[in-house]
């Protein structure tokens, strides 16, 4: 452990980080993200109307400098990944082979990086932007491949994202190291990036820079609220408390309540960084996503979360739909939908979640988290359908005297269903994870993974099929 004396004799950032109660890596990350605001203003106002090459040079230089500021010579690992993908697409881009090679190389490169550089805790090193870059490079190979397929075989989404021209070296480096999404995401399609470089993503028809200050400051303000919560409240719910004797000696209900709050505050840091980074993207103009029905500009292309919808969510499905939006969209677009040939949505979902687990790292905690998420979402969907279609349950849930009880119960359950898997996501090692789950008798695993699937496949699904059959028979009887 680093002593106080060693900290005081370290560099300025190291010393300052220690004084404000954080570490140097986190401080460098925060500085880098906030630096995106003046950089975005310069890009928007001073480079507007210049050539794409000029913008690529500026973005590449700044992005590499930010990377070096955070990760030093390890920046070379990220640059090598971009270089490899450029060569791959230059040689065989647009073919099925390029997609397979890209997928295997980028995911393999990431997993090997985890194996070499990962520790037993959450790491703030170059593998963080690398995991974001991994998805970005895979998407480029897919979209280029789609661009070489017959148009009639493409979905409307694929048509809007595909392209035929392989990216140049400067372009792919710029695309990889754009400072708005370099360190924390979100995912952003290359075709839209090209539109931005060509000055097509504007909220006006006069050709002037977009008026992005107000929407950017609105998102930044929300992000700063989460940032303040991160500083003031989150330290009160540390993961380390879960493996203490004090937690073990507390009551069962208290343990569940703490897991609820722990889970909620654990994801606060992700929300914070997503919102602040989204503000950078909006300010630069790259987040422009067209206009709504009223003709107002939308700035949602780089959204990582919908704060209001997330905070008011009363089900796991609603929470998932509003959280980590760009990654979930990427997963659906390039993994889940591409597995349609399997003919089974459950298998596609499991494979997608296993990919997501591997993308996060090699620790067993990630896999446990996402497998639990699969079963919890399945329960959430089926339980909601039961309360909708079974008359007695529907009547009880809709009774006006049950409204407040329903609100409290649903919110508690949603927080518990979110927090329970996150225990393993944060603690990572099974030796630690087991200490927590055994204190709550593995209640989540027993109910969601064992009891509910048995009840679901033995009772619920057959009942739904019977009801559908009866409905068809009634409809047929009416038509005769």
297 to 211, 236, 277, 304: CA distances (angstroms): 9, 40, 19, 18
159-195 tens-digit pLDDT: 999 999 999 999 999 999 999 999 988 999 999 999 9
Could you tell me which residues are beta bridge partners of residue 297?
A: 291
How would residue 3 be classed by pLDDT, with cut points 50, 70 and 90? very low
Q: Rounded distance, CA 387 to CA 379, Å?
A: 12
User: What digits encode the pLDDT tens for the residues 409-436?
Assistant: 889 999 999 999 999 999 999 999 999 9
The pLDDT assigned to 459 comes to 81
Assign 3-class secondary structure to 91-152.
Answer: HHCCCHHHHHHHHHHHHHHHHHHHHHHCCCCCCCCCHHHHHHHHHHHHHHHHHHHHHCCCHH
pLDDT for residue 476:
66
Q: Which of 56, 106, 360, 363 is catalytic?
A: 360
Instruction: Kindly state whether residue 397 falls inside one of the protein's structural domains.
Output: yes
Tens of pLDDT along 367-424? 999 999 999 999 998 888 887 877 777 777 777 777 777 788 889 999 999 999 999 9
Per-residue pLDDT tens over the stretch 202-213:
999 888 999 999
* pLDDT beyond 50 at 344: yes
322 located within any domain = no
What is the domain range of residue 378?
338-473
What distance, in Å, lies between the first and last C-alpha atoms of the chain?
81
Q: Tell me what the mean pLDDT of segment 43-52 comes to.
A: 94
Residues 204-232 as b or e (16 or more Cβ within 10 Å = b): eeeeebbebeebbeebbebbeebbeebee
Report how many domains make up the chain: 2
* CA-closest candidate to residue 189, choices 39, 29, 382, 334: 334
For residue 56, count CB atoms less than 10 angstroms from its CB and return exposed for 0-12, middle for 13-18, buried for 19 or more: buried
SS3 297: strand
At residue 235 the predicted structure's pLDDT band, cuts being 50, 70 and 90, is confident
Task: Specify the DSSP element, H or E, that contains 217.
Answer: helix 213-232
- The enclosing H or E element of 342 equals none
3 state DSSP class of 291: strand
Rounded to whole angstroms, the Cα distance separating 225 from 222 reads 5
pLDDT, residue 219, reads: 96
Q: What is the largest CA-CA distance in the chain?
A: 90
Residue that is last in its domain, among 200, 234, 265: 200
Q: Quote the radius of gyration of the chain (alpha carbons, Å).
A: 24
Distance separating alpha carbons of residues 193 and 247, to the nearest angstrom: 49
DSSP 22: S
**Residues present in the chain in total:** 480
Q: Express each pLDDT in 275-289 by its tens digit.
A: 999 999 999 999 999
pLDDT of residue 257: 94
Catalytic residue among 85, 106, 324, 368: 324
CA distance 419 to 257: 10
Q: What is the mean pLDDT of the chain?
A: 90
Let me know if 360 is a catalytic residue: yes
Of 184, 167, 248, 269, nearest to 437 by C-alpha is 248
Average pLDDT over residues 324-335: 94
Mark whether 324 is an active-site residue: yes
State the Cα–Cα distance between residues 279 and 411, nearest whole angstrom. Answer: 29
Whole-angstrom distance, CA of residue 276 vs CA of residue 300: 14
Give me the pLDDT at residue 32, please: 95
Considering only CA atoms, which of 401, 389, 358, 353 is closest in space to residue 463?
A: 389
| Tokens found for residue 242 | 């879960």
- Residue 8's pLDDT band, with cuts at 50, 70 and 90, is very low
**Per-residue confidence (pLDDT) for residue 399, from 0 to 100:** 72
pLDDT tens across 255-270, in order?
A: 999 999 999 999 998 9
Residue where one domain finishes, among candidates 156, 181, 200: 200
Question: ∠313-442-453 over CA atoms, to 5°?
Answer: 70
CA distance 306 to 326: 11
Q: Answer whether residue 315 shows pLDDT above 90.
A: no
Higher pLDDT: 5 or 263? It is 263
115: pLDDT strictly greater than 50: yes
Query: What does the alpha-carbon distance between residue 75 and residue 445 come to, in Å, rounded to a whole number?
Result: 41
pLDDT confidence of residue 24? 85
DSSP three-state, residue 30: helix
- Is 411 strand, coil or helix? helix
Domain finish residue from 179, 200, 221: 200
pLDDT band at residue 15 using 50, 70 and 90 as cut-offs:
confident
Structure tokens at 171: 């372009």
Is cis: bond before 186, omega within 30 of 0? yes
pTM of the predicted protein model = 0.90
Q: How far apart are CA 97 and CA 93, in angstroms?
A: 8
Query: Would you give the distance in Å from CA 232 to the centre of its chain?
Result: 24
Q: What is the mean predicted confidence (pLDDT) over 210-223? A: 95
Res 104: pLDDT: 97
pLDDT of residue 398: 74
Distance, in Å, from the CA atom of 429 to the CA atom of 443, rounded to the nearest integer, reads 19
């Amino acid at each position: 452990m680093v002593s106080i004396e060693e900290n005081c004799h370290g560099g300025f950032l190291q010393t300052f980080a220690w004084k404000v109660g954080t570490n140097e890596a986190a401080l460098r990350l925060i500085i880098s993200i906030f630096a995106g605001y003046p950089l975005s203003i310069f890009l928007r106002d001073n480079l507007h109307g210049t050539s794409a090459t000029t913008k690529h040079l500026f973005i590449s230089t700044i992005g590499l400098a930010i990377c070096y500021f955070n990760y030093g010579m390890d920046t070379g690992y990220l640059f090598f990944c971009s270089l490899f993908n450029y060569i791959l697409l230059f040689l065989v881009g647009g073919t099925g082979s390029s997609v397979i090679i890209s997928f295997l190389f980028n995911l393999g490169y990431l997993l090997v990086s985890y194996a070499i550089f990962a520790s037993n805790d959450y790491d703030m090193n170059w593998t963080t932007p690398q995991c974001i870059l991994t998805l970005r490079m895979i998407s480029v190979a897919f979209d280029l491949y789609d661009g070489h397929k017959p148009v009639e075989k493409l979905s409307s989404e694929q048509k809007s994202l595909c392209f035929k021209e392989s990216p140049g070296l400067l372009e792919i480096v710029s695309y990889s190291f754009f400072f708005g999404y370099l360190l924390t995401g979100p995912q952003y399609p290359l075709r839209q990036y090209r539109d931005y470089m060509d000055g097509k993503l504007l909220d006006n028809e006069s050709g002037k820079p977009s008026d992005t200050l107000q929407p950017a400051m609105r998102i930044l303000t929300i992000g700063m609220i989460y940032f303040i919560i991160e500083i003031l409240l989150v330290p009160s719910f540390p993961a380390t408390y879960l493996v203490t004797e004090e937690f073990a000696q507390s009551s069962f209900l208290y343990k569940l309540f703490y897991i609820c709050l722990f889970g909620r505050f654990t994801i606060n840091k992700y929300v914070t960084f997503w919102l602040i980074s989204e503000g950078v993207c909006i300010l630069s103009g790259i987040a422009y996503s067209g206009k709504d029905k009223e003709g107002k500009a939308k700035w949602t292309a780089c959204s990582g979360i919908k704060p209001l919808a997330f905070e008011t969510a009363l089900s796991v499905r609603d929470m998932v739909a509003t959280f980590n939006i760009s990654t979930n969209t990427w997963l659906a677009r390039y993994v889940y939908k591409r597995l349609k040939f399997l003919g089974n949505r459950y298998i596609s979902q499991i494979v997608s979640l296993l990919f997501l687990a591997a993308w996060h790292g090699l620790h067993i905690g990630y896999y446990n988290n996402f497998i639990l998420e699969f079963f919890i979402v399945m329960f959430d969907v089926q339980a909601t359908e039961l309360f909708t279609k079974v008359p007695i349950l529907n009547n009880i849930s809709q009774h006006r005297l049950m409204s407040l009880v329903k609100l409290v119960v649903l919110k508690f359950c949603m927080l518990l269903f979110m927090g329970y898997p996150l225990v393993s996501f944060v603690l990572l090692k099974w030796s630690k994870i087991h200490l927590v789950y055994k204190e709550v008798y593995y209640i989540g695993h027993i109910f969601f993974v064992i009891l509910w699937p048995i009840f679901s496949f033995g009772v619920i699904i057959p009942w739904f099929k019977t009801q559908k059959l009866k409905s068809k028979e009634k409809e047929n009887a009416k038509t005769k």
